[in-house]
Amino acid sequence: MTEVERRSIVTRLGEGVDARGALGEAPRQRVLAALEEYARAIREHGAERTTAVMTSAVRDASNGEAFARTVRERFGFDARILDGEEEARLTYLGATTGRDTAPADPLLVIDIGGGSTELVVGEGDEVAFHVSTQVGVVRHSERHLHSDPPTREELDDLTGAVRRELEQAIPPAERERITAAVAVAGTATQSAGIDLGAEGLDVEGHRLQAERLRDMLGELAAIPLAQRRDVPGLDPDRAPTIVAGVVVLTTVLGTFGLGEVEVSDRDVLWGAARETGRSAASN
């Protein structure tokens, strides 16, 4: 599979879903505006097949199915809402793309999103364990981080809430057998960009040490949002949620007793693309 163009537009579709239980009008319009751009690029590239996947924000919202229907009708995309099991499978499929061989030992894939965090343990080509938690960077920023910059009490509350949910969701036996992890999606790639000191660099395979992430968290949480937007390597649109994201990532590593994590930009999108390609080939 060859990637010809990749775009990532931060829309924060899940903004307010935790409080209202529904997708807001402004977030929906931001997504539709982004999809207008994507649809234009798809036409320019002459794509024969399209796919669109929607995750926790749409899955959790009372008007999620109506929004998915709007996307299908307006753009003609083969758009579907993923359940937790399918999201885990596609995330693992994407994260293991490009590896010479399937992982011989249990591999943890960490996918931190706006409304949920997916934790997937794979063995070889198969998913052995997965859980979709209600830990998300938008959701938990709205719940816990109300000051700018956040207070120590807010950070402690956030960390404690994340730790409790992870410990409840992951059996001790799964935590103890993991020795390696790959993190995908915005928090991981943005943290790698900060670590490298520049945005837009290739972060595939970059290794983040848990100690470095803890230092990074201290630096990011100590400055107000306006300054955070100027941090080298950080997309300014990710600045509002990066503190919560690094809290989640460091807490996941601590829960599994890991000292480092490998970063990959091959996430659920790669998994969906691979599945679409396989389906086209079989037909």
* pLDDT 10s digits, 61-89: 999 999 999 999 999 988 899 988 888 88
Contact predicate 32/74, CB 8 Å: yes
Model confidence at 160, in pLDDT bands (50, 70, 90)?
very high
What's the confidence (pLDDT) of residue 95? Answer: 87
Going across the sheet that includes 181-184, the strands are 126-133, 117-123, 107-112, 181-184, 260-263, 207-209
Predicted confidence (pLDDT) per residue in 166-207, tens digit: 999 999 988 889 989 999 988 999 999 999 987 777 888 899
| pLDDT tens for each residue of 204-220 | 889 999 999 999 999 99
Angle at 209 between CA 205 and CA 212, to 5 degrees: 125
For residue 86, is it within any domain? no
Whether residues 74 and 154 share a domain: the answer is no
pLDDT > 70 fraction of the chain, expressed in percent and rounded: 96
The residue-averaged pLDDT of 142-155 equals 93
- Shared domain for 48 and 139, answered yes or no, is no
Kindly report, residue by residue over 42-52, the tens digit of the pLDDT: 999 998 888 89
Q: What CATH number is given to the structural domain containing 116? A: 3.30.420.150
Residue 277 lies in a domain: no
Residues 72 and 174 in one domain: no
Q: Given pLDDT bands bounded at 50, 70 and 90, which one contains residue 110?
A: very high
Is residue 8 assigned to a domain? no
Q: How confident is the model at residue 99 (pLDDT cuts 50, 70, 90)?
A: low
Q: Are 157 and 250 members of one domain?
A: yes
Q: Is a pLDDT exceeding 90 seen at residue 257?
A: yes
Shortest CA distance to 140 belongs to which of 104, 113, 108, 179?
113
Which H or E run contains 123? strand 117-123
Q: How many distinct structural domains can be found in the chain?
A: 2
Domain that holds residue 125: 99-268
Residues 211 and 258 in one domain: yes
- At a CB cut-off of 8 Å and minimum separation 6, what does 59 contact? 81, 82, 83, 84
Ramachandran assignment for 149, one of left (phi > 0), alpha (psi -120 to 50 degrees), beta (any other)? beta
**30 and 62 assigned to the same domain:** yes
Specify the CATH number for the domain of residue 63: 3.30.420.40
Nearest to 107, CA basis, from 115, 162, 214, 94: 94
Does residue 170 share a domain with residue 52?
A: no
Q: What is the mean pLDDT of residues 242-257?
A: 95
| Average per-residue pLDDT for the chain | 89
Whether 88 is in a domain gets the answer: no
